[in-house]
A and B are shown apart, each in its own frame.
Chain A
Amino acid sequence: MTASCEHVRAAMLSSAGDASLEAPDVASHLASCDACRELATDGGRLGRALGALAVDAGRTGAGVDAGPTTAELEQLFAGVQANVARERGPMAMLRSRSQTLRVVAVAALIVLEALLVVGLVPRSDLGIYPLLRHAAFVALLGGMALLAAWQSLRPLQAPALPSWVSRGVVIAGIALPFLLGMMPPEEDHHSLGHDGTGSALAKFAFYCLALGAAMGVAVIALLRATDRGGHGSGARATLAALAGGLAGTLVVHLHCPLNHPFHLLLGHAPVGLLLAASYALLRR
């Protein structure tokens, strides 16, 4: 049988010294493994030095097993069993599904909210609103909401992404609605209106902000319910709040015909920022 790195490690730490490194199976592993060969140089001097460190720390199989006692393990397992026993019901079942399926559930909720708004209180200019522009807004806001939801539900068994990835998604997700709000209207089809500005600015903006936040909170609630525990991290929780906020902005876009940049920047765009900031404050 060919030795593994673990056999070589054991050989280096054995009292047999150099002789144990010359055993045929160990020698054959050393011939094929650069890393172990480095450890075995000078009669395994580096391996033994590392072994001394491990033993000193009371860890690893390098000499001393300082793992938990049997009683400690029993107590830990009782806790695990209690946790697992509580894992029942439809939400627990949804939590145990794949990341894709859970994001699909979030997407379904966003679509449901959008359909409700379009069915019950659609924007009054839906017939004349430029279709491409409309499709672009929906795709960008919806796509970014799903990207944030996807990141927030990333399974814990997957290696952690570099922090700049989640920061990038958060910054892009907050900035996107503001950029869309600053886009000039297409004059031919959809001229700039001044409704909801002036003295009515705050009132209309607050109404849209409240509607978006309410819709967003429902999405956040679903994300929280389907989260397996990753939302303990601030980044994932912020991403969940942002996903809700973007969904809220999308719903407001389908409802509100006001297109003045002041209204869009105060009433539509800040939903994600508002929810992410509120969530961060609540977590403190």
Chain B
Amino acid sequence: MADARSDEELMAAYLGGDSLAFRGLFDRLAPQLMRLLRARVGREADAHDLVQQTFLQLHRARNDFRPGARVRPWVVTIAMNLARDLGRRKGRRKETELADEAVLVDPRPVAADGLERAGDVRRVHDALAQLPAEQRRVIVLHWFEGLSFGEIAEMLDATPVAVRVRAHRGYERLRKLLEQGGNSDDGSRVRSDT
């Protein structure tokens, strides 16, 4: 059964000596880390290794955790730093901006949903690639990874307000880029009643 405690409560329990809480944190965070790291490093074996390294680092850094801090941005930041180091060790000269934000999604057509949907996907992918890196990074973490602005702010060492502004500008620009690329696609241009 899933542990009802929050990530932070689990971390506090782990610090208090509850080893089951560490398992709880792993069950809670590892799936998201796997998705992030698979997208980031590509190779399954590397993603596995990095997930394990991330939790080892979490264990080593446990005494740095302070009440009031949030666990998820902490863990995701460790994973991203380890992935960056791995990329450098493997001699990738410079990761592409898109890969750096872990949004390396494959825009190839998906037969099941037809060509129209595949076109949509490619357009969104291309539009995302045109965003400035800092806006894209925030959008990936906010939309694709479901992190809150507060969590993203902690990860990027920025204020939540700055992150929120970046996200707003990024979404606005993305919407305009998609509009310029043609309306159409699903024929569902409805009203604009925000």
Contact = CB atoms under 8 A, between A and B. Distances in A.
B78 A60 contact: no
Interface residues of B, number: 74
Contacts of A73: 26-27, 30-31
B124 interface: yes
Interface stretch (A33-41, A109-117, A138-146): A33-41
Contacts of B145: 60
Nearest to B71: A157
Interface in B99-156: 105-107, 110, 117, 120-121, 123-125, 128, 139, 142-146, 148-149, 155-156
Interface in B157-173: 157, 164-165, 167-168, 171-172
A95 B167 CA distance: 37
- Please indicate which of the listed interface residues A80, A83, A92, A233 has the most CB atoms of chain B within 10 Å of its own CB: A80
A50 B190 contact: no
14 contacts: A33-B164, A35-B142, A46-B178, A48-B186, A52-B120, A52-B121, A60-B146, A66-B35, A76-B48, A80-B52, A80-B56, A83-B55, A159-B156, A230-B81
Interface of B: 22-23, 26-27, 30-32, 34-35, 39, 48, 51-53, 55-57, 59-64, 74-75, 77-78, 80-82, 84-86, 88-89, 105-107, 110, 117, 120-121, 123-125, 128, 139, 142-146, 148-149, 155-157, 164-165, 167-168, 171-172, 174-175, 178, 185-186, 188-192, 194
Interface of A: 4-6, 9, 18, 30, 33-35, 37-43, 45-46, 48-50, 52-54, 56-57, 59-62, 65-68, 72-73, 76-77, 79-80, 83-84, 87, 92, 95-99, 155-160, 228-230, 232-234
